[in-house]
Each structure stands twice: as C-alpha cells, then as structure tokens.
C-alpha cells in the first residue's frame, strides 16, 4: 500500500482545520502547511465532494469540518484523498489482476492482511491523531 502525498496532505489539512471555528482558506493553509496551493485546493475539493469538509465560497470562504473529529476514520480520509480503496497490493481485495486466483497461494494471506489493515485504519480517528491516541 502506498499512501501518497495526497493522503499525507489531506490528514495535515484536516488536523489544521479541526481546531478552527471559522472556514480556513486554501492560501493560508498552503502557506502554513508548506504545501502547493493548487495541489492542496484539489485535495480539499475532493474531501468536500466526499462530505468530509464543508466548502464556503466568497471573501470569507474556505473549508471547515463537516462533522466531529471523532467521526473521521483514517480509512475514510485516505480513501477520499487517493480516490480509491486503500490497498496493500493490487490483488489484496481478492481479485487477481492476472486471473490466477485459483492457483495463487498468497491471495488468502494478502486478503487477510488487507482486512486487518482496513480494520485498523477504521479504528483510528482524526481525533486520535490530533490527541496522539492510537
């Protein structure tokens, strides 16, 4: 599994936004987090589209959390940022890209590993990350 910069920046942005009462604008966040403004804007728009953020337009616009930080799982955040399900390997969801499921001895192990990781990522919340509880 590869968490890309998109996942990292999504988590950093949500941490930044979490303790703010007012919508946070992309330019300020990009500067504070030292992230490309255009890349951060793309990530935040994806998070908003998936319901993790609320987006406000205008001079005092920006982004705020759509729910309590305890309701955000690391799995949901990463899935939204990456635009796909978190996967350890291509075949770890039980589908072999080269159609050798019946002969692959590793597939059951990879599926079990994927299930374990999904379970773990579903238990870690944004609140836990902010408060270093995991």
Sequential pLDDT tens for the chain (134 residues): 567 899 999 999 999 999 999 999 999 999 999 999 999 999 999 999 999 999 999 888 999 999 999 999 999 999 999 888 777 777 666 666 666 766 777 778 888 888 898 899 999 999 999 998 65
- List, in sequence order, every residue forming a beta bridge with 73; answer none if it has no partner: 125
Give the whole-angstrom CA distance, residue 124 versus residue 11.
Answer: 12
Give the whole-angstrom CA distance, residue 132 versus residue 22.
Answer: 24
Classified as helix, coil or strand, 85 is coil
Structure tokens at 70: 């305890």
Quote the pLDDT of residue 93: 62
- List, in sequence order, every residue forming a beta bridge with 125; answer none if it has no partner: 73
Rounded to two decimals, the pTM is 0.85
Give the whole-angstrom CA distance, residue 28 versus residue 74.
Answer: 24
* Cα distance from N-terminal residue to C-terminal residue, the chain: 20
CB-CB contact of 40 with 33 (8 Å)? yes
The 8-class DSSP code of residue 53 comes to E
């Amino acid at each position: 599994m590869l968490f890309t910069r998109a996942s990292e920046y999504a988590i950093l942005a949500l941490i930044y936004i979490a303790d703010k009462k007012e919508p946070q604008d992309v330019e300020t966040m990009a500067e504070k987090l030292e992230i490309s403004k255009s890349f951060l804007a793309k990530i935040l728009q994806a998070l908003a589209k998936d319901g993790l953020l609320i987006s406000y337009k205008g001079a005092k616009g920006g982004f705020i959390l759509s729910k309590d930080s305890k309701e955000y799982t690391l799995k949901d955040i990463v899935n939204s940022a990456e635009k796909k399900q978190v996967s350890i390997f291509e075949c770890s969801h039980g589908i072999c890209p080269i159609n050798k499921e019946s002969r692959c001895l590793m597939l059951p192990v990879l599926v079990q590993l994927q299930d374990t990781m999904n379970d773990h990522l579903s238990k870690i919340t944004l609140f836990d990350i902010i408060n270093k509880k995991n």
